[in-house]
Amino acid sequence: MAASPTTSPSLELPADATLPERHPEAPAPGEPIPPHSAVCFGCADVPHGLRLEFRVAEDPAGGAAVAARMVLRPDQQGAPGLLHGGLLTAAFDEVLGSVVALVTRPCVTARLETDFRRPMPIGSTLWLHARVDGRVGRKLYVTGTARLDAEDGPVVGTAKALFLKVGMEHFLRNSRPEDLEALGVSAEQIRAARS
Ligand SMILES: CCCCCCCCCC(=O)SCCNC(=O)CCNC(=O)[C@H](O)C(C)(C)COP(=O)(O)OP(=O)(O)OC[C@H]1O[C@@H](n2cnc3c(N)ncnc32)[C@H](O)[C@@H]1OP(=O)(O)O
């Protein structure tokens, strides 16, 4: 899809960007991508979560791509009977983050832009697609599309994002200690990262 004329300059693919390949240990096209965490609002089976379901998609140019689906529930309304717009942005954050994770990890969202093209009725299914368009150093440039009720359905939203590769210290320094400890990180490791 052509870039919107209002896209932030920091989201435009730089001329020196290269197309990154999937990591050798990442799942192959057609394979499902399991939730990356049991508590994730985007992909885990948690009560108010988006419950996105993923698979690796084929990318004609040999890059990294994912496809995902999300059923729109009554507890996700903004205007009556329609999906809350912020939840489309949250879905894009998860889907674009997931495709970046096929290339390298960990990464975090630095900037995310959503274009809302059509209303999204509750009860319908969003079919999302995302692709890593290029990488320059720590910066990964990603785009996504959401379609209604079929993989080739009408486009309801598009997104562009910049993700940045970070080190594990990003989480050791910033996440709640009790959540890190639940993952097996020792109190000493947390103290050392924060000293
Ligand atoms: C298996 C995993 C599956 C994951 C799926 C889930 C996906 C969900 C992902 C998320 O929601 S992550 C949570 C939301 N994001 C955050 O909480 C990030 C909060 N922000 C930060 O921690 C820092 O601002 C950040 C790590 C993004 C950047 O800080 P750094 O100190 O590492 O970067 P720095 O400021 O040195 O900037 C590096 C480059 O990026 C550029 N940059 C940084 N932030 C930017 C921004 N916001 N917009 C545009 N450019 C930006 C910056 O200009 C610079 O460009 P140059 O190298 O060309 O000089």
What's 22's domain CATH number? 3.10.129.10
**Is pLDDT above 90 for 118?**
yes
Alpha-carbon gap, residue 145 to 164, rounded angstroms: 21
Q: How far is the CA of 164 from the centre of ligand 1 (A)?
A: 5
Domain tally, the chain? 1
Query: pLDDT of 162-193, one tens digit each?
Result: 999 999 999 999 999 999 999 999 999 999 99
Q: How many CB atoms lie within 10 A of CB 6?
A: 7
Within-domain flag for 110: yes
Residue nearest to atom 27 of ligand 1 (CA): 110
**Residue 66 Cβ < 6 Å to ligand 1:** no
- What pLDDT is stored for residue 4 in this prediction? 54
Within-domain flag for 105: yes
Within-domain flag for 194: no
Within-domain flag for 7: no
Q: Quick one: pLDDT band at residue 2, thresholds 50, 70, 90?
A: low
Q: How far is the CA of 163 from the centre of ligand 1 (A)?
A: 6
